[in-house]
Structure 1
């Protein structure tokens, strides 16, 4: 008879972490990041809690990971610890243990509830260096005026077709002066970009910036070009009153502050 595995103690503290994927590290896949993060936990000597079973693994829950190739200022995960630690110290040691470009921005004590359920929408900024702002504005207007925008994407289960329009909560075009290195673009700091600003509701399947670009191409003939760079600037609860994406860690800070 196989010996029953040792039961691990439950976590005594849960921390929620916001991190960024910047520059060339935006090409890090979710699997590559998870491996790098687990190695960083070991190097930083973070006292992780482990799952029970024959193959214990550190208690890490990832939420709403961005697609490979997209930069982000709003990636989230939660870890369970075997000892109580100072969140700011964990932020510091993890940030030092991870390579530049995978940057730990904030660590807070979990106030309970589901972090994933707070991630209702994402605010994306998509830079299109090879598209005129006027042309982009026309394409956006046509997109928003269309009831359904079917797109196709290759998934693990094969080619899948879905409506990209249903996930769009806001879409707008604007010019912007680029900041060299902000999203890994190596063009001069004074280069001008057309910007596609999008707020997308999370769902199944999750609509990504590439899907919106595919929809703009399909209904308006807009060719974004290979130089398009997507950056998630926020991820969290959606406020329909003003159309903004909020901070998912705000309730945890409130709980820690007693309010």
Structure 2
């Protein structure tokens, strides 16, 4: 017997106090949301079946995710508008459903191409000094950083396709890599701005860019929220 498996790609925002939720707890949260929405999840085979819920990229603790991606496999075919409404109706604090797409059979799973960030700059930061460090960073062929107590060296231009200060905020793009990938904190270290976070800077991942997007105008395959884009938070909200 062939079991029905229908995959949906969901873009969502995770902000406020929810940014202090770990990736593992976020996955569990999505399981609870799906079950509360009375959806039939597709499960893996074996002695310990698990729901088929996948993320192309984990979000670091304390980082706002304004356009994240999760993929769900359901054991039922549901109109995307109905699925969208059920997820929105859960009204989880800090979680905003932005779009739902039903992927065609055989469409590949989401794979990360790059992550775009906007990092707020604390008022006491020396922006001119940061600009000089950024210029120097752009002139380097390679950069080195520490990962798991080892020094890793990567191609600077490939891993950091964009870094610039615009309107008092640091705009940063980091490419995915099969080996160790740079993180926003690594880049702050490279531009001598490691004290920004403790002085109130906030890291926002504004976009998860995938290697292959599913583009469609079919209203039966996509449902989106009709509202203004998610605003970039500028102040930290600490857990109580």
- TM class, shorter-chain normalised? 0.7 to 0.9
Q: Does 1:215 align with 2:190?
A: yes
2:191 is paired with a residue whose SS is helix
> CA 1:211 to 1:9, structure 2 compared with 1: closer, same or farther past 3 Å?
farther
Q: Matched residues in 2 for 1:28 and 1:92: separation?
A: 24
RMSD of the TM alignment (CA)?
A: 2.4
Q: Matched residues in 2 for 1:222 and 1:197: separation?
A: 16
Choose the corresponding residue for 2:142, options 121, 144, 148: 148
Which residue of structure 1 aligns with residue 209 of structure 2? 236
Structure 1, gaps ≥5 residues long: 1-7, 176-193, 239-247
1:57 is paired with a residue whose SS is coil
Q: Matched residues in 1 for 2:214 and 2:43: separation?
A: 27
Q: Matched residues in 1 for 2:219 and 2:5: separation?
A: 15
> CA 1:13 to 1:149, structure 2 compared with 1: closer, same or farther past 3 Å?
same
Query: Superposed, which structure 2 residues align to 1:188-203 within 5 Å?
Result: 194-203=168-177
Q: Matched residues in 1 for 2:44 and 2:209: separation?
A: 28
Is the CA contact 1:20–1:102 (under 8 Å) kept in the aligned structure 2? yes
Q: Matched residues in 2 for 1:65 and 1:9: separation?
A: 31
Q: Does 1:46 align with 2:18?
A: no
2:71 is paired with a residue whose SS is strand
Q: Matched residues in 1 for 2:210 and 2:68: separation?
A: 14
Query: Superposed, which structure 2 residues align to 1:19-98 within 5 Å?
Result: 19-97=12-90
Structure 2, gaps ≥5 residues long: 222-240
Cα displacement (A) at 1:17: 0.8
Is the CA contact 1:123–1:199 (under 8 Å) kept in the aligned structure 2? yes
Which is greater in Rg? 1
Cα displacement (A) at 1:148: 2.1
Is the CA contact 1:50–1:57 (under 8 Å) kept in the aligned structure 2? yes
Cα displacement (A) at 1:250: 4.0
Q: Matched residues in 1 for 2:44 and 2:141: separation?
A: 46
Which residue of structure 2 aligns with residue 174 of structure 1? 166
C-alpha distance after superposition, 1:146-173 (max 9, x if no partner): 22221114xxxx3232236341001101
Q: Matched residues in 2 for 1:10 and 1:211: separation?
A: 45
> CA 1:78 to 1:222, structure 2 compared with 1: closer, same or farther past 3 Å?
closer
Query: Superposed, which structure 2 residues align to 1:89-128 within 5 Å?
Result: 89-97=82-90, 99-111=92-104, 112-117=106-111, 119-128=112-121
Is the CA contact 2:110–2:210 (under 8 Å) kept in the aligned structure 1? no
What's the TM-score, normalizing by structure 2? 0.80
Choose the corresponding residue for 1:134, options 124, 128, 140: 128
Cα displacement (A) at 1:249: 4.1
> CA 1:59 to 1:9, structure 2 compared with 1: closer, same or farther past 3 Å?
farther
Q: State the number of aligned residues.
A: 215
What's the TM-score, normalizing by structure 1? 0.74
**Which has a greater percent of helix?**
1
